[in-house]
C-alpha cells in the first residue's frame, strides 16, 4: 500500500485537478486505487466531474467541498477561498467502492442506495468493509448514518464530514465519477490490505453546568430541566446570549461554548458528541446543527483557542494509541476538521499542520473543513457532531 497527497490553488479548475493528479500519480508510481478529494466552492463540482471522468476506469473517486481551504502534510492551502487537495491510495490487494445518491425525498434510503452501489463496486459480496467514508450535504446526517446502520449494523466504523462552502450560502457539493450534486450523499467502502485506526474527538471539555433534556424535536432543543433551553443556556454562560433571547443567530458567539452529550467512554474517560448552537427559536428553544432527544443529559462545554489548535494532533495520536500503532509504521491519514473551528483559529492553522506532522511522523495526510463531523468512539455506533475532529490513520 502506498499513500500520497497533492494540492493546487491554480485558478483554472481543470488545470488545478490535472496538475495535482499528475503529481499524485508520480508519488504513487501509478494510478490511485481510491482517490479522495476536498475542494472549495471556487472549483465548481461540474468542472471537476468532467476532469475525474477522464481518469482510468479503475480509479474510484469520492470528493466533497471544504470551507475556504484544505491542508496536507505540506501545509495549509488556500488562496482567495480557492483550494484543491487530493489523497490517493494505491493498494492492489485491497478493494474499494464508491456510491452516490440524492438525499431527497428520503435521506436514510439514499444512504442505503449509495452504500449498496459502493459495496457492489468493491466486489466483496457477503464481506463487511473495514471502514466507511461518507460525505453529505448538511441537514440529514443522522438519517444517513441510520441508513448505513440498517445495512451494516454498528460493527463497521463510519467516518467523514459534511460538505461545506466558503460563506454558508449553500454552495457545497459532493461528487463521484458518476455525478455531482449539492443535495446528495457519497459513500466509500474500504477493504484495505493494511490496518486502519480511527478516532473522533473535540477540543472542548465539560463544565459543571449539566441538565436533562425534557423536550426536543429533531434539531431543536426546547427545554432543559423543564425550562426554556435558551434561558438555561444563558444562565449557564453568565448572560452570553442575553441580547439574543428574543431571537437571533448564535453561531459565532457560541463557538467556545457548545453543548455536549456523552458519546461513549474509553477506560472510564467520557468522550463527548458536540452540538453547535444555531439560533434562539420563537418559543425560547435552541436550534442546533445536530439532533437531540428528550431523556438525554447535556453539558455546557468549554474550549479555548489553544485547545482547538492542538486537538487535531491529539486525535490522530489517539488513533495510534488505541491500536498500539508505532509512528514509524504510519503510511498516511485522513483528517476532518470543523469549519467553525477553522474560522476561530484561522491564523494558527500552520500550527495545526505542524502538530499533525509531528503526530503522524511527517507521513502524507489530507484534511478538509466541514459543516459537521462523523465518527465513533471505540465500541459505540458512529454519530454526527459539530466542532469536532475525525481521523483515519493507515499503517503497516
pLDDT tens digits along 266-278? 777 888 999 999 9
* Alpha carbons 392 and 214: distance in angstroms, whole number: 36
Q: Is the pLDDT at 352 greater than 90, yes or no?
A: yes
How much is the CA Rg of the chain, to the nearest whole Å? 20
Task: Name the grid cell of 192.
Answer: 484495505
Q: How confident is the model at residue 125 (pLDDT cuts 50, 70, 90)?
A: confident
Q: What pLDDT does residue 268 have?
A: 79
Q: Break the chain into its structural domains and give their ranges.
A: 2-201+307-395, 204-303
Q: What pLDDT does residue 126 have?
A: 86
Q: What pLDDT does residue 379 have?
A: 66
**Mean pLDDT of all residues in 122-131:** 93
Report DSSP state, residue 203: S
Q: What pLDDT does residue 266 have?
A: 77
> Is 22 exposed, middle or buried, given 0-12, 13-18 or 19+ CB atoms closer than 10 A?
exposed
Q: What pLDDT does residue 117 have?
A: 97
Q: Is the pLDDT at 182 greater than 70, yes or no?
A: yes
How does the average pLDDT of the chain come out, rounded? Answer: 96
Provide DSSP, 253-301.
Answer: TTTTS-EEEEEEEETTEEEEEEE-EEEE-TTS-EEESS---TT-EEEEE
The CATH T-level fold of domain 204-303 is Elongation Factor Tu (Ef-tu); domain 3 (2.40.30)
User: Is 99 in contact with 117 (CB distance < 8 Å)?
Assistant: yes
Q: How confident is the model at residue 264 (pLDDT cuts 50, 70, 90)?
A: confident
Report in angstroms the alpha-carbon separations of 138 from 130, 169, 180: 25, 12, 15
Q: Is the pLDDT at 380 greater than 80, yes or no?
A: no
Q: Which contiguous run of DSSP H or E holds residue 207?
A: strand 204-217
**Mean pLDDT of all residues in 354-364:** 97
Q: Which residue has the cell 456523552?
A: 262
* Alpha carbons 183 and 194: distance in angstroms, whole number: 33
Task: Report helix, strand or coil for 241.
Answer: coil
Angle of CA points 20, 24, 25, to nearest 5°: 120
Q: What's this model's pTM, rounded to 2 decimal places?
A: 0.95
Q: What pLDDT does residue 209 have?
A: 98
* Alpha carbons 214 and 198: distance in angstroms, whole number: 33
Amino acid at each position: 500500500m502506498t499513500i500520497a497527497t497533492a494540492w493546487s490553488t491554480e485558478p483554472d479548475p481543470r488545470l488545478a485537478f490535472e496538475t495535482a493528479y499528475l503529481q499524485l500519480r508520480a508519488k504513487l508510481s501509478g494510478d490511485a486505487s481510491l482517490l479522495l478529494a476536498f475542494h472549495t466552492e471556487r472549483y465548481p463540482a461540474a468542472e471537476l466531474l468532467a476532469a475525474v471522468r477522464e481518469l482510468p476506469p479503475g480509479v474510484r473517486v469520492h470528493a466533497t467541498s471544504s470551507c475556504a481551504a484544505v491542508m496536507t502534510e505540506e501545509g495549509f492551502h488556500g488562496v482567495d477561498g480557492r483550494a484543491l487537495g487530493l489523497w490517493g491510495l494505491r493498494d492492489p490487494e485491497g478493494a474499494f467502492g464508491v456510491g452516490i445518491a440524492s438525499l431527497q425525498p428520503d435521506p436514510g434510503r439514499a444512504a442505503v442506495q449509495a452504500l449498496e452501489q459502493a459495496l457492489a463496486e468493491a466486489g466483496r459480496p457477503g464481506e463487511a468493509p473495514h471502514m466507511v467514508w461518507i460525505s453529505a450535504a448538511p441537514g440529514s446526517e443522522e438519517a444517513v448514518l441510520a441508513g448505513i446502520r440498517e445495512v451494516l449494523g454498528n460493527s463497521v466504523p463510519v467516518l467523514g464530514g459534511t460538505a461545506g462552502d466558503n460563506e454558508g450560502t449553500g454552495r457545497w457539493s459532493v461528487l463521484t465519477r458518476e455525478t455531482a450534486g449539492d443535495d446528495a450523499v457519497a459513500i466509500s467502502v474500504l477493504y484495505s490490505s493494511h490496518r486502519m485506526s480511527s478516532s473522533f474527538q473535540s477540543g472542548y471539555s465539560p463544565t459543571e453546568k449539566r441538565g436533562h433534556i425534557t423536550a426536543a424535536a429533531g434539531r431543536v432543543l426546547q427545554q432543559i430541566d423543564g425550562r426554556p433551553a435558551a434561558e438555561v443556556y444563558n444562565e449557564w454562560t453568565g448572560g452570553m446570549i442575553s441580547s439574543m433571547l428574543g431571537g437571533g443567530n448564535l453561531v459565532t458567539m457560541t463557538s467556545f461554548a457548545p453543548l455536549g452529550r456523552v458519546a461513549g467512554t474509553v477506560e472510564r474517560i467520557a468522550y463527548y458528541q458536540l452540538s453547535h448552537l444555531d439560533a434562539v427559536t420563537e418559543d425560547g428553544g435552541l436550534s442546533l446543527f445536530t439532533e437531540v432527544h428528550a431523556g438525554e443529559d447535556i453539558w455546557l462545554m468549554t474550549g479555548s483557542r489553544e485547545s482547538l489548535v492542538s486537538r487535531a494532533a491529539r486525535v490522530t495520536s489517539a488513533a495510534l494509541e488505541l491500536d498500539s500503532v508505532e509512528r514509524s509504521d504510519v503510511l498516511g491519514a485522513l483528517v476532518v476538521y470543523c469549519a467553525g473551528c477553522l474560522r476561530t483559529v484561522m491564523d494558527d492553522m500552520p500550527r495545526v499542520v505542524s502538530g499533525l506532522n509531528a503526530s503522524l511522523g511527517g507521513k502524507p495526510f489530507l484534511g478538509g473543513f466541514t459543516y459537521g463531523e462523523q465518527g465513533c468512539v471505540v465500541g459505540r455506533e458512529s454519530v454526527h457532531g459539530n466542532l469536532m475532529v475525525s481521523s483515519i490513520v493507515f499503517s503497516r
